[in-house]
Structure 1
Amino acid sequence: MILHIDMDAFFASVEQLDNPDLKGKCIIVGGRSNRGVVSAASYEARKYGVRSAMPIFMAKRKCPQGVFVFPRIKRYKEVSKEIMKLFCEFSPLVEPVSIDEAYVDIAGGARLFGSPVQIGMHIKEQIKKKVNLTCSVGIAPNKFLAKIASDMEKPDGLFIILPEEAHQFIQSLPIKKVPGIGKKTGESLENMSIATLGDVKQYPEKILLKRLGKFGKRLVELSNCIDHSSVTPFAQRKSVST
Structure 2
Amino acid sequence: MRQRSPETWRQIRDSAVGLMAERGFDAVSVEDIVAAAGISRRTYFNYFAGKESVLFDPDPEDPLLWAELTAARPAGEPLWTALHQLIREYTTVTAERMIRQRLVLRASPELAVCSRNVCDRFWDATREWAAERERATARERAAERERAAERERAAERERAAERERAAERERAVEWERAVGWDAGLSELQLDLLINTARTVLNTVLPRWDVDTGIAGLHRLIDEGFTLLQSPEWTTS
Fold conserved (TM > 0.5)?
Answer: no
| Bigger RCO of structures 1 and 2 (CA < 8 A, at least 6 apart) | 1
When normalised by structure 2's length, the TM-score is 0.26
Q: Which has the higher strand share?
A: 1
Larger Rg: 2
